[in-house]
Chain A
Amino acid sequence: MDSLKNRVGIDVGGTFTDFVMFMPGADRLVSHKHPSVPSDPSRAVIQGLAELLEMTDTTPKQIGAIVHGTTIGLNAILQRNGARVALLVSQGFRDVLEVGRGRMPSSLNFHAVKESPLVPRDCVIEINARLDPQGNVLAAPTGAELERVRSEIRALAPDAVAVMVLHGYANAAFEERLVTSLSMHLPGVSFCSASSIWPEIREYERTLVACMNASIQPLMQRYFDRLEAGIASLSIEAPLFISTSNGGLVNLRTARARPVETLLSGPAAGVTAASRIAVAAGADHVVTFDMGGTSSDVAVASGGQPEFTTRTDIGGLPLILPTVAVEAIGAGGGSVVHVDAHGIIKVGPKSAGAFPGPVAYGQGGKAPTVTDCYLVIGILDPLRFFNGKLALDVSLARAALLDIATALGLDGPQAAEKAAWGALRVATAGMGAALRKMLSTRGLDPVDFTLLPYGGAGPTHASFLADEMEMAHVLIPGEASTLCAFGAVLADLRRDFIRSLRCTLDARSMDELRQCITALEDAGRVWVAEEKRIVESVSFQREVEMRYGGEAYDLKITLPDVDVTELDEKFVAECFHRRHEALYGFRDADAPLRIMAVRIGVIGHVRPVPLPEGAGQADEPQLAGRRQVFLHDGWHDVPVYDKATLGPGFVIAGPAIIEQSSSTVPVLPGWRAEADRHGNLRLLRAGQSCS
């Protein structure tokens, strides 16, 4: 049985490619890092994989599945260097991409420019084909019309053609037939029908899904080919799965056909892992906090389930596929500290990136970063950074921060440290402002949440941010720096299906709703059946998008995964009223309810990965040393502990430093730390702390 074989999760980052292997036989998790190869990410994947096999004495035959996340598609869209795509649209709507939703990035800054369209206007072709909102055919192309369109496509010689018929979501077969009759005489041109990829009402957004898919498909397919060949060269026969933006994974066949689903797979996998770890550790409501080099990302998860969004911004283009809702909230470890022309300190948004990186890297960076601040105040040990793989020069960092101090009018022997401490507080205030805003949009209060940090700097910055947010709990996973790869190992198969409905809720439309759910779930079952070898069970996530008649905003409600005959009109209505009341504080019992769309997530559960159990009660942890740390306004002599020696139950009071593999956790004054039995570190705040 394949589900008992080893599963490997792989995440390609800017600096490192991370590997996590789950070995069900030995009940063991192993992680590994290999430097990334930006020019061909698959090389690092293959080399690292080979190293992983060797270091764990695993034979290729013992590998049951490889799960891989990639940002190749995302980068191609952001840099607009994907395939040459032609777009075919209903007559009258050539400008669907140019007009977009009509908004500009700023209403005040008149030098702001609109996003450049994914397909330029001269590659857009109109065709006399159109439906009405019920899916009835209003115009169908004649043979002559089809031939005209074919010759226009030939003239453009595109790699791929995206197709959008107005109201195509209401009659996907029409668009399919159109594609069939066009492609018959156009060998070598691949077509991508918007209504078959994502049949949701809203022509601009649906067209974009098709264009994005068409634009990244050729290069993703080439990448998958290289990856497959590389894996075969290691004699591994296990199937390859690709992580998706909804926190799940799909088989290679689906990923080749629908690469647009993989765009945001990296961050989604991290949140998936974080939310599972949280539930296992008894934290039901978490804010995940991934602090990387250039920025910090947050997401909300409750009961192990990350929150989804159906509107993500991809460099100015909206993506409506269900995606784990990850938002950027500001500075990362590489964000630059500077003083503006009026003497005020700023952190970011510029980042030093991987090169030149922080000043302390000694690669020529002149502008101090958040990482330099940690070093100068003593939180980071220059000899232990990245497990000692990167030698850091504190004196360079201190000199750069001294310049900042001078510009701020700070002097005295501790000027550089004061500037560093101030910069960290400023960075934290900025993150806090963004995080508060994100939570209050959802009507959530930060004090009800545990902060779950990961990424290179997340564990280092977590208690600063928790203090700012008045959050009392921080949960730091044992493998905080390889969480995205871990998420890939954990993830279940998942695909989302949608149908737009637009009817008023009554007995008749309830029938339609039930049929719709059944049809989508049947399609989901067929899809998941392809992976019988690793799927142990199937479940469904049912969401209905509804609104009050006369209102223009939709709300998603979740219906239980029970027999559809048990779902009646009254139950659905009450679900909606309740949700509305919870979010907006009122219900309108007299208003008609409109059903707008149904979304079904089909989940093929893989064998669950048990979280590692710690080595039982430990004695008093060994002091690994002491170091001088500058906190608030002076130096403190602070004990340093090695996380590996920290058993569950023992409490460390701040100020203290805990070193764990590839991250450093400061326990600030007013906080205490303890390890739990899963190898996580918990930080708890006692009383209030000043800003």
Chain B
Amino acid sequence: MQLDPITLEILNNQVVSVVEEMCMTLQRVGRSLYVKETADFACALAGVDGKFFAYPGSIGVSGFVGLDCMPAIREAGTLAEGDVLITNDPYHSQGLATHLPDLHVIAPVFHDGRIIAYLWAFVHCSDIGGRVPSSVSTTNTEIYQEGLQIPPLRLVKKGRIDNEIERLIRVNSRTPDNNMGDIQAMLAAIGLGQRRVATLVQRHGIATFLAAQKDLCAYTARRARAAIEKIPDGSWAFSDYLDSDMVSGLPVRFAVKVVVDRGRITLDFTGTDPQVHAAMNIPSAGKVHPWLTLRIMALVVTLDPGIPLNAGLQFPIEMIAPRGSVVHPVRPAAVGVRHAACVRVNDVLNGALGIALPEVMTAANSGVIIPVVAAEPAGDGERNVQVVEPMTGGTGARHGMDGTDGRDPSISNLANNPVEMVESELGVRILHYGLRAGSGGAGQWRGGMGLELVFRIGVDDTLILARGLERMRFRPWGVQKGSPGVLTTLSITYADGKVEKLDGLDIIALGQGDTVSLCTAGGGGFGDPLEREPALVLSDVRRGLVSVEQARQEYGVVITDRQVDAQATAVCRGRPLAREHDLGRLQWETVFSPAVMEVFGRFLDTLPASRRHGEKVRLIAQVMALLPANFPVVRVEPDVLAQAHDAFATAVAALPAGAGHAC
């Protein structure tokens, strides 16, 4: 490092102050709800290499600290003083933007005629066109359906907005004024950033300012490496599934091998499913990308909470993300809900690291983010559209700590809506909003409870949307003998008393008096439930989170008259316990065994990326035809499973030659 430790720490404070001030300005001047309420935006300072050396710690989206501006800067061509580039194009910016509603801007900072840094900002705008309002839908199959694509180009030239580009953006959006308001807010933030950086350069000198860019990242990288060095050297593999890609209805498999070697960590996603014909692909460009490394960054921050956030966090990471897979799709794969896939990427990283660091990592979080939306008729064909509640579940347990009940911040740490506000804005009546008792996986430390939301429709022809309904087939796993969390369930009780259980939902029209009941998954448990302190089980029973039956069946703790019966408990814990397990995953992997899937995957890799998903769906559908409709959730006889597996293995073996040597 070039700078002395005092100057470095002073600059560390000052550059973060610049980007946080930019964020405050953006949020204050910004127009849309995404900016004002959910803080779906960020600002940062990138060095001459295009990587962030200063990133806000307490406001905005924290996960994007690992983005790289350089491909977009190169794509835009020469940037002059007063220019600002804009892009939302995941493919031409090589993963700077990761879905089209995210508008990114970059401005060069000049000093004595040369570029000394870049200012960056992004906002999630309200709508950028495409097939559906708000531009994001799981069922989009190509990026062309997702809205206007803006490759990196100069929106502002020599300090003036290009009116022609502005018009193009305006006519392609359902919310042109909001979008331009948010763009103006980003430009205001950049203007402030320009002034603040100029002051810093004046105070410290240009040499110190340039040295700080490198030194700050190097300092963070050192601390990140020190954190990663706490992971023993070795190699750990893990896999998990999304229930469905929402288009073919088939699960999407995520597989990772984490290799740790003296403070360096390689993430190998070989074995992850091909890109899907749905909007769940993560446009990482195959690089070390925030959406694929979020859990690693979270681990570093967890082990070293004070670490300055900048590109150095990712320096110890290397990436293998096969081209044409869900985690490295090629154009024109749709990407709108890439965060849904990121939830599962988080889970597999968490699982693999959990083998290496059992005392640090958690069991699976609920793994769901479900914004429940109601659209009530409001006359003249208009609809009053509001989020009822953004639903998550509980977090996974870890060594020494139960999971968190009813909260899961791992992807988006959003605030919920007060029930009184919801009922003032909508005709729905919320009957119950609280913890879902009994849903956390049992364990020495139990998983966090999921949430339960029950509401009655007040107006006929109300549309209910629930994107992101997940963990309805594959349970959030437990670790170290901990049980999995309970599956997400959704049911509707119609006004006439008829009850319907749904295994998924995109959009549904309901009438007055119909009642929707959504229960989200609990987190996985950690450690053997038989090892849980009876006093803790008793406390859960007293608090109504675990039933007396559950205490006996899952924990072997006998509770009578609100007290632990020590003798009966000793007897009960001496007998073998019927353990909870994930039937869905067990059955799925009996039929589609990882060994055969690997061969199948190698075959798919020989095909053009755009054809892989279709081939996969075709062959798996043949096998699914041998199984009941709601496989793998419903219990199937072992011989039926075995037959289906044989059929799958035979079909894979019959695939054209070349399957074995495709890598």
A107 touches B545 (CB 8 A): no
Compute how far the CA of A430 lies from the CA of B11 in the bound complex, rounded to whole angstroms: 10
Compute how far the CA of A96 lies from the CA of B418 in the bound complex, rounded to whole angstroms: 10
* Chain B nearest Cβ from A232, distance in angstroms: 45
**1/0 per position for B452-468, CB-CB distance to A under 8 A?**
00100000000000000
Compute how far the CA of A584 lies from the CA of B27 in the bound complex, rounded to whole angstroms: 9
Q: Which of A223-231, A236-244, A335-343, A556-564 contacts B (4 or more CB under 8 A)?
A: A335-343
**1/0 per position for A540-558, CB-CB distance to B under 8 A?**
0000000000011100000
A202 touches B433 (CB 8 A): no
Compute how far the CA of A120 lies from the CA of B543 in the bound complex, rounded to whole angstroms: 8
Compute how far the CA of A500 lies from the CA of B240 in the bound complex, rounded to whole angstroms: 48
Q: Which residues of B contact A109 (CB under 8 A)?
A: 298, 301-302, 305
Q: Given A109-B305, A113-B404, A553-B37, check contact A430 B62 (CB 8 Å).
A: no
* Chain A nearest Cβ from B425, distance in angstroms: 9
Q: Which residues of B contact A551 (CB under 8 A)?
A: 33, 36
Pick from A132, A167, A343, A436: contact of B5, CB under 8 Å: A343
Pick from A202, A408, A432: contact of B13, CB under 8 Å: A432
Pick from A96, A133, A426, A502: contact of B9, CB under 8 Å: A426
Q: Which residues of B contact A101 (CB under 8 A)?
A: 415-416
Compute how far the CA of A552 lies from the CA of B386 in the bound complex, rounded to whole angstroms: 11
Q: Given A341-B226, A502-B424, check contact A408 B20 (CB 8 Å).
A: no
Q: Which of A38-46, A87-95, A519-527 contacts B (4 or more CB under 8 A)?
A: A87-95
A552 touches B6 (CB 8 A): no
Closest A residue to B1 using CB positions: A343
* Chain B nearest Cβ from A199, distance in angstroms: 11
Query: Is residue A122 within 8 Å, beta carbon to beta carbon, of the partner chain?
Result: yes
A203 touches B419 (CB 8 A): yes
Compute how far the CA of A422 lies from the CA of B8 in the bound complex, rounded to whole angstroms: 11
Q: Which of B147-155, B406-414, B623-631 contacts A (4 or more CB under 8 A)?
A: B406-414
A102 touches B424 (CB 8 A): no
Q: Which residues of A contact B159 (CB under 8 A)?
A: none
* Chain B nearest Cβ from A99, distance in angstroms: 5
Q: Please give the number of chain A residues whose Cβ is less than 8 angstroms from any Cβ of chain B in the complex.
A: 67
**1/0 per position for B387-398, CB-CB distance to A under 8 A?**
000101001001
A409 touches B5 (CB 8 A): yes
Compute how far the CA of A201 lies from the CA of B421 in the bound complex, rounded to whole angstroms: 7
* Chain B nearest Cβ from A170, distance in angstroms: 9
Q: Which of A78-86, A295-303, A437-445 contacts B (4 or more CB under 8 A)?
A: A437-445
Q: Given A425-B6, A437-B24, check contact A167 B409 (CB 8 Å).
A: no
Q: Which residues of A contact B545 (CB under 8 A)?
A: 121
B432 touches A92 (CB 8 A): yes
Pick from B24, B302, B401, B544: contact of A108, CB under 8 Å: B302
B13 touches A433 (CB 8 A): yes
Chain B interface residue number, banded: 35 or more
Compute how far the CA of A102 lies from the CA of B223 in the bound complex, rounded to whole angstroms: 31
* Chain B nearest Cβ from A414, distance in angstroms: 14
Q: Which residues of B contact A107 (CB under 8 A)?
A: 62-63, 409-410, 412-413
B418 touches A110 (CB 8 A): no
* Chain A nearest Cβ from B415, distance in angstroms: 5
Pick from A94, A114, A205, A443: contact of B28, CB under 8 Å: A443
Q: Given A92-B430, A108-B297, A342-B223, check contact A437 B20 (CB 8 Å).
A: yes
Pick from B17, B25, B204, B432: contact of A433, CB under 8 Å: B17
Query: Is residue B131 within 8 Å, beta carbon to beta carbon, of the partner chain?
Result: no
Query: Is residue A586 within 8 Å, beta carbon to beta carbon, of the partner chain?
Result: yes
B404 touches A114 (CB 8 A): yes
Q: Which residues of B contact A203 (CB under 8 A)?
A: 418-420
Query: Is residue B451 within 8 Å, beta carbon to beta carbon, of the partner chain?
Result: yes
A691 touches B203 (CB 8 A): yes
Query: Is residue A106 within 8 Å, beta carbon to beta carbon, of the partner chain?
Result: yes
B406 touches A202 (CB 8 A): no
Compute how far the CA of A342 lies from the CA of B226 in the bound complex, rounded to whole angstroms: 10
Compute how far the CA of A133 lies from the CA of B421 in the bound complex, rounded to whole angstroms: 9
Query: Is residue B21 within 8 Å, beta carbon to beta carbon, of the partner chain?
Result: yes
Query: Is residue B506 within 8 Å, beta carbon to beta carbon, of the partner chain?
Result: no
B6 touches A408 (CB 8 A): yes
Query: Is residue A583 within 8 Å, beta carbon to beta carbon, of the partner chain?
Result: yes
Compute how far the CA of A661 lies from the CA of B8 in the bound complex, rounded to whole angstroms: 37
Query: Is residue B16 within 8 Å, beta carbon to beta carbon, of the partner chain?
Result: yes
Query: Is residue A188 within 8 Å, beta carbon to beta carbon, of the partner chain?
Result: no
Q: Given A99-B406, A113-B401, A346-B9, check contact A585 B29 (CB 8 Å).
A: yes
Q: Quick one: which of B539-579 are within 8 Å of A by CB?
A: 542-545
Query: Is residue B362 within 8 Å, beta carbon to beta carbon, of the partner chain?
Result: yes
B392 touches A102 (CB 8 A): yes
Query: Is residue A508 within 8 Å, beta carbon to beta carbon, of the partner chain?
Result: no
A133 touches B424 (CB 8 A): yes
Query: Is residue A149 within 8 Å, beta carbon to beta carbon, of the partner chain?
Result: no
Closest B residue to A169 using CB positions: B420
Q: Given A99-B416, A114-B404, check contact A133 B14 (CB 8 Å).
A: no
* Chain B nearest Cβ from A91, distance in angstroms: 8
Closest B residue to A206 using CB positions: B420
B435 touches A98 (CB 8 A): yes
Q: Quick one: which of B11-42 are within 8 Å of A by CB?
A: 12-14, 16-17, 20-21, 24-25, 27-29, 31, 33, 36-37
Compute how far the CA of A331 lies from the CA of B70 in the bound complex, rounded to whole angstroms: 37
**1/0 per position for A431-471, CB-CB distance to B under 8 A?**
01110110011010000000000000000000000000010
Q: Which residues of A contact B405 (CB under 8 A)?
A: 98
Q: Which residues of A contact B24 (CB under 8 A)?
A: 437, 440-441
Query: Is residue A618 within 8 Å, beta carbon to beta carbon, of the partner chain?
Result: no
B5 touches A552 (CB 8 A): no
Compute how far the CA of A344 lies from the CA of B308 in the bound complex, rounded to whole angstroms: 12
B433 touches A426 (CB 8 A): no
Q: Given A99-B451, A110-B298, A432-B13, check contact A93 B419 (CB 8 Å).
A: yes
Query: Is residue B261 within 8 Å, beta carbon to beta carbon, of the partner chain?
Result: no
Pick from B306, B414, B419, B542: contact of A103, CB under 8 Å: B414
Compute how far the CA of A203 lies from the CA of B430 in the bound complex, rounded to whole angstroms: 13
Compute how far the CA of A436 lies from the CA of B392 in the bound complex, rounded to whole angstroms: 35
Q: Quick one: which of B222-246 are within 8 Å of A by CB?
A: 222-223, 226
Compute how far the CA of A342 lies from the CA of B299 in the bound complex, rounded to whole angstroms: 19
**Interface-central residue, B28, B419, B435, by most chain A CB under 10 Å:** B419
Query: Is residue A389 within 8 Å, beta carbon to beta carbon, of the partner chain?
Result: no
Compute how far the CA of A343 lies from the CA of B5 in the bound complex, rounded to whole angstroms: 7
Q: Which residues of A contact B222 (CB under 8 A)?
A: 342
Query: Is residue A182 within 8 Å, beta carbon to beta carbon, of the partner chain?
Result: no
Query: Is residue B263 within 8 Å, beta carbon to beta carbon, of the partner chain?
Result: no
**Interface-central residue, A106, A110, A691, by most chain B CB under 10 Å:** A110
Q: Which residues of A contact B4 (CB under 8 A)?
A: 408-409
Q: Which residues of A contact B434 (CB under 8 A)?
A: 92-96, 98-99
Q: Given A102-B415, A691-B10, check contact A110 B362 (CB 8 Å).
A: yes
Q: Which residues of B contact A122 (CB under 8 A)?
A: 542-544
Query: Is residue A429 within 8 Å, beta carbon to beta carbon, of the partner chain?
Result: yes
Compute how far the CA of A100 lies from the CA of B414 in the bound complex, rounded to whole angstroms: 12
Q: Given A109-B305, A433-B20, A586-B31, check contact A425 B10 (CB 8 Å).
A: yes
A429 touches B9 (CB 8 A): yes
- The 10 nearest A-B residue pairs measured at CB: A95-B434, A433-B17, A422-B6, A102-B416, A429-B13, A104-B409, A107-B413, A121-B543, A92-B432, A108-B301
Apart from A110-B298, A121-B545, what 14 extra A-B contacts exist at CB < 8 Å? A93-B432, A95-B406, A98-B406, A99-B435, A102-B406, A107-B409, A113-B404, A120-B543, A408-B5, A409-B5, A443-B25, A552-B36, A586-B31, A691-B10
21 A-B pairs whose Cβ atoms sit less than 8 Å apart in the complex: A92-B434, A94-B544, A98-B434, A102-B415, A109-B302, A109-B305, A110-B410, A122-B543, A132-B423, A201-B421, A202-B421, A342-B222, A343-B5, A426-B10, A430-B13, A436-B17, A440-B28, A441-B27, A443-B28, A585-B188, A586-B31
Partner-B contacts on A (CB < 8 A): 92-96, 98-104, 106-111, 113-114, 120-122, 132-133, 166-167, 169, 201-205, 339, 341-346, 408-409, 422-423, 425-426, 429-430, 432-434, 436-437, 440-441, 443, 470, 502, 551-553, 583-586, 690-691
